[in-house]
Chains A and B, each alone.
Chain A
Amino acid sequence: MQGSSSQKRKRLDLVPSTGSLTDPERVLYNVIRSKKDMGIWTRDMKRETNLPDNVVNKALKLLQAKKLIKEVVNIQNKGRKHYMAAEFEPSKEITGGDWYSEGNLDVDFINLVKDLCLKHIMRQKVATLDGILEWSKKSGVFAVEFTTQQIEEILRALVLDDEIVEVKSTGFGDFASVPVGRVCYRCTSKGGSKGEPKAGAMASIPCGVCPRISSCTPDGIISPRTCAYYQKWLDF
């Protein structure tokens, strides 16, 4: 609601300034503006406006100079020049969402959050989504406040990393404080060292992880007799 009223106000403000635009500039500006918080790619502008390349390029420069439009990074395709009317904030589809900063996935930040959440679960033995969310708000370890969805995303990634598992409370032992049947999270008990799942039979031998297995034959150029991976593996 708020968004639309401020847009209205801006549009009123802008009327005089669009008056000073040349025809091609106005056409272009209207197209860009009609895309709202999605913005538009230069190639698409050219197609939609039917203006020649040099005209479009010149108009874009002037519109930018007049601060009517801005260039934005489109996460979907960073190589493409993408423009948006100045009054809009790029949508999630353009920025990539909460975990992005300046068009890049903020991997360091994500890993930090993951790590802190994991440590919290480890300490708690079992934890629920609500519990973790509350801890993230109250403990003061995070400078920002996370939404439920964000914490959910972090937990989901930790599950995919096989760092934690989603289980239903049995009400026994570690689950004693959680109502029976509630979904909670627990660290995986891994045989191997932390972070690395137990290597399977294939993962522990050269052929199991060999990129050339499909071209390796008993008597071929690539063969277990001549194989360099084996040479290295059996180098005692």
Chain B
Amino acid sequence: MVTQYGIKFAVHLITNHFGNLVAKVCEDLLRRGPLTLDQLIGFTELTKEQVKNSLLVLVQHNCVQAFILEKEDVGDDREGSKVNTQYLALLDNILHRLRFPKFLEIVSQDLDEECVELLEGLLRYGRLTLKQMVDRASQRKGNTSMMHELQNPVAIDVVRESLHKLLMVRYVERCPAPSPVVSSPVEKDTKKRGAKSKVANQVPETIEQHVLEAIVPVEGIRFSLMSNTEVIKSDDSPMTSEENFGKTTVIPIQEDSTLFHANFEEFIRRCRHKVLIENVRTRLDDEAATILGAILEATRTAEKKVKMENSVPLTLDTIFTEVVKTETGRTMTIDRVRSSLVQLGCPQRMLDDSYSIDLKKIIELARNEEVESIVLKRYGRDAYRMFRLLSKADRLLETDKIAESTFVEKRDAPKTLYKLWKDEYLHMEKLVVTAARQSKFLLWKVNKPILWDHVLDEMYHAALNLSLRLAYEQEKDAELLNVPKDKIVGQLQKRYKRLRNVWLLLESSLMKLDDALMLFHDF
């Protein structure tokens, strides 16, 4: 699901961070899907050098992934056909750039200052080898003269230690191969995409997903920090010893060039967990939040993807053990835990006495809340009630019926419903009944998936506007920013204060809006 304003906003971020040329290349990739170097040169009308450099920047910052599509049916003339590297823009990764402060915040809560610094470097430079990380750490310590000898043994150990910690909690991972060969998406997929290609932007997403799935390094090495002397720790690795052997002989040679980058997936998972827990806290109570938190923490590494629909099943005993480990859960009884699980919507135990919580439902409720608050503010309380009725009913309802159930004047209801429909918040169907007298009814419904896409697009639009307005305010008062601090007095001081307030408000609103973007796009 790539929305128009999603792309515009992403391009805006890239322009801010890397300038117009890089943004041009990025925009073409976002709009057209994966392209080869030659195609990109053709579309962007930039020189080969410019495109290449832009791609280097984008790859370095994990915003573009190169890959080679394996052709199945060209077996005979494989030598003849030239290998075509394609470039795929990673929209999600581009948008994650907005969230870097949040990711750093998470690490500063979970780990120590060294880890925060290391991650800060990775976010700033996109991807780094261990050696580069050490160089950077040494630089920060002022050891620049020693750079090339690099042999500050303390520094390398400290950095390795921090990297190891970050890898253990999966906040950092090995970068995928620079240009891996990816098998073509399965035939069935291609057909489906063909048929749906008119539906906005189905294609890039499918290819993106396919490539992204294919390039993730195998679990065993994804989070491992290997060195010359170390062998892959096989404790959580499913590899056979033969594979192990094969890998260890290759890796020492590559050791130094192994690149690491932030594992956005894990950060987004953390953000999602936080949202889930806080939503349960407001909707139910602290106990339920504690229990959900304990479950998610215990099953974090067992989650196969970010958008888990249900929590990984755990038995009541395991849940209880996890709950009493937490500070807030220490005093809970097993009966209390069980009753909260019921509140959380797991009424029956599964066959093996395990509980699994419907996470998708919690996310859905949070999305509803966001949309409803827009409806209330934009269309008023009557509209709010009617919208909530339709949202809860999740089926077509007739105008009068809606008016009756929401205590809205029958003559006013159609106007409000029509407004909501015109702004794409509602779906409408006409029903003509030809009985004794012909009568026409209007039926209304909230079509959630479509509505959510629409709201998401409006959110990207709003985010873009916030960011543009911020730039405008800064530009308007540009000269103010060049005035030395002690010269800011009187009238200037007033303007300066205003600018600071404006800045704070816009920045904090953008961060809050970004939470909503994640809620609708990443969770």
Chain A residues within 8 Å of B, Cβ to Cβ? 44, 75-76, 78, 96-97, 99, 104-105, 107, 110, 153, 156-157, 160-162, 170-172, 189, 191, 197-205, 207-209, 211, 213-214, 216, 218, 223-225, 227, 230, 233-234, 236
Contact of B324 with A by CB under 8 A: no
Q: Assuming A197-B372, A207-B462, A214-B423, what are 15 further A-B pairs, CB within 8 angstroms?
A: A160-B392, A170-B342, A170-B343, A191-B282, A199-B373, A201-B459, A202-B458, A202-B459, A207-B465, A211-B378, A218-B8, A223-B468, A227-B465, A236-B498, A236-B501
Interface residue SS majority, chain A: loop
Q: A78 to B282, alpha carbons, bound, how many Å? A: 45
Q: Are B388 and A110 in contact (CB under 8 A)?
A: no
Query: Chain A: which residue is nearest B381 at the CB level?
Result: A161
Q: Which of B23-31, B51-59, B153-161, B507-515 contacts A (4 or more CB under 8 A)?
A: B507-515
* Residues from 453 to 469 in B contacting A, C-beta threshold 8 Å: 455, 458-459, 461-462, 464-466, 468-469
Q: Are B512 and A204 in contact (CB under 8 A)?
A: yes
Q: Are B462 and A200 in contact (CB under 8 A)?
A: no
Contact of B406 with A by CB under 8 A: yes
Chain B residues within 8 Å of A, Cβ to Cβ? 8, 282, 336, 339, 342-343, 369-374, 376-378, 381, 384-385, 388-389, 392, 400, 404-411, 423, 437, 455, 458-459, 461-462, 464-466, 468-469, 472-473, 497-498, 501-502, 505-506, 509, 512-513, 515-516
Q: Are A199 and B472 in contact (CB under 8 A)?
A: no
Q: A96 to B469, alpha carbons, bound, how many Å? A: 50
Q: Are B282 and A189 in contact (CB under 8 A)?
A: yes
Q: Are A208 and B377 in contact (CB under 8 A)?
A: yes
Query: Chain B: which residue is nearest A230 at the CB level?
Result: B469
Query: Chain A: which residue is nearest B515 at the CB level?
Result: A201
- 24 A-B pairs within 8 Å (CB atoms) are namely A75-B410, A105-B410, A107-B407, A110-B407, A170-B343, A172-B339, A198-B369, A200-B369, A200-B370, A201-B512, A201-B516, A202-B458, A202-B459, A203-B373, A203-B376, A205-B462, A205-B466, A207-B462, A207-B466, A208-B377, A208-B462, A213-B462, A218-B464, A236-B502
Q: Are B472 and A202 in contact (CB under 8 A)?
A: no
Q: A233 to B465, alpha carbons, bound, how many Å? A: 14
Interface residue SS majority, chain B: helix
Task: Report the minimal beta-carbon distance from A139 to chain B, rounded to whole angstroms.
Answer: 22
Q: Are B372 and A202 in contact (CB under 8 A)?
A: no
Which residues of B lie under 8 Å from residue A207 when comparing CB positions? 458, 461-462, 465-466
Q: Are A225 and B469 in contact (CB under 8 A)?
A: yes
Which residues of B lie under 8 Å from residue A199 when comparing CB positions? 373, 377
Task: Report the minimal beta-carbon distance from A15 to chain B, rounded to whole angstroms.
Answer: 29
By CB atoms of chain A within 10 A, which of B336, B372, B405, B513 has the most? B513
Q: Given A197-B372, A211-B378: A202 and B462 within 8 A (CB)?
A: yes
Q: Are A234 and B465 in contact (CB under 8 A)?
A: no
Q: Given A202-B373, A230-B469: A170 and B410 within 8 A (CB)?
A: no
Q: Are B405 and A156 in contact (CB under 8 A)?
A: yes
Task: Report the minimal beta-carbon distance from B182 to chain A, rounded to whole angstroms.
Answer: 36
Which residues of A lie under 8 Å from residue B407 when comparing CB positions? 99, 105, 107, 110, 153, 157
Which residues of B lie under 8 Å from residue A204 when comparing CB positions? 509, 512
Q: A166 to B513, alpha carbons, bound, how many Å? A: 30
Q: Are A197 and B376 in contact (CB under 8 A)?
A: yes
Q: A204 to B392, alpha carbons, bound, how many Å? A: 24
Which residues of B lie under 8 Å from residue A170 when comparing CB positions? 339, 342-343
Query: Chain A: which residue is nearest B501 at the CB level?
Result: A236
Q: Are B472 and A224 in contact (CB under 8 A)?
A: yes
Q: A134 to B162, alpha carbons, bound, how many Å? A: 66
Which residues of B lie under 8 Å from residue A197 when comparing CB positions? 369, 372-373, 376
Task: Report the minimal beta-carbon distance from A111 to chain B, rounded to whole angstroms.
Answer: 9
Q: A75 to B410, alpha carbons, bound, how many Å? A: 8
Query: Chain B: which residue is nearest A77 at the CB level?
Result: B411
Which residues of A lie under 8 Å from residue B372 when comparing CB positions? 162, 197
Q: Are A216 and B410 in contact (CB under 8 A)?
A: no
Q: Are B374 and A172 in contact (CB under 8 A)?
A: no
Among the listed A75, A157, A236, which residue makes an inter-chain contact with B406, where contact means beta carbons less than 8 Å apart?
A157
Q: Are A225 and B472 in contact (CB under 8 A)?
A: yes
Task: Report the minimal beta-carbon distance from A185 to chain B, rounded to whole angstroms.
Answer: 15
Q: Given A105-B407, A234-B502: A218 and B468 within 8 A (CB)?
A: yes
Which residues of B lie under 8 Å from residue A230 when comparing CB positions? 469
Query: Chain B: which residue is nearest A195 at the CB level?
Result: B381
Q: A191 to B282, alpha carbons, bound, how many Å? A: 8
Task: Report the minimal beta-carbon distance from B98 to chain A, rounded to whole angstroms.
Answer: 13
Q: Are B385 and A157 in contact (CB under 8 A)?
A: yes
Q: A216 to B501, alpha carbons, bound, how many Å? A: 25
Which residues of A lie under 8 Å from residue B336 when comparing CB positions? 172
Q: Are B516 and A234 in contact (CB under 8 A)?
A: no
Query: Chain B: which residue is nearest A189 at the CB level?
Result: B282
By CB atoms of chain B within 10 A, which of A76, A105, A201, A207 has the most? A201
Which residues of A lie under 8 Å from residue B461 when comparing CB positions? 207, 213, 216
Q: Are A201 and B370 in contact (CB under 8 A)?
A: yes
Task: Report the minimal beta-carbon distance from B312 to chain A, rounded to whole angstroms.
Answer: 24
Q: A179 to B51, alpha carbons, bound, how many Å? A: 70
Which residues of B lie under 8 Å from residue A198 when comparing CB positions? 369, 373
Q: A233 to B408, alpha carbons, bound, how many Å? A: 32
Q: Given A162-B388, A211-B378, A218-B468: A205 and B509 within 8 A (CB)?
A: yes
Task: Report the minimal beta-carbon distance from B508 to chain A, rounded to whole angstroms.
Answer: 10
Q: A16 to B388, alpha carbons, bound, how many Å? A: 56
Which residues of A lie under 8 Å from residue B373 when comparing CB positions? 197-200, 202-203
